[in-house]
Amino acid sequence: EQFAKMKKGSFFLNASRGNVVVIPDLAAALKSGHIRGAYVDVFPVEPGKNGEGFFESELRGCENVLMTPHVGGSTEEAQAK
């Protein structure tokens, strides 16, 4: 419902809190083409540390989405040092 109020072709960015966005609704808006692209670095359940496997999200597989961990220390490069 919230994404339907946005202008068709908009880009969406969430870097605030993971629970602010209903991820399945964002995924549907992206897949339908209503939202042209998205950047998300916060999630309802944050990705675990290295070695725990990659987290599951409806956004995985969406070609028009960039996802990064909110905490820079969660990257493989940061944890390797």
Task: Give me the catalytic one of 34, 36, 58, 70.
Answer: 70
Choice among 1, 17, 34, 63 that is catalytic? 17
**Catalytic: 46?**
yes
Known active-site residue 36:
no
Q: Give the closest residue to 28 by CA, choosing from 57, 59, 66.
A: 59
Helical H segments across 1-81, by residue range: 23-32, 76-80
Burial class of residue 7 in the structure, from the number of CB atoms within 10 Å of its CB (0-12 exposed, 13-18 middle, 19+ buried): exposed
Q: Which of 34, 36, 46, 58 is catalytic?
A: 46
Give the active site residues. 17, 46, 70
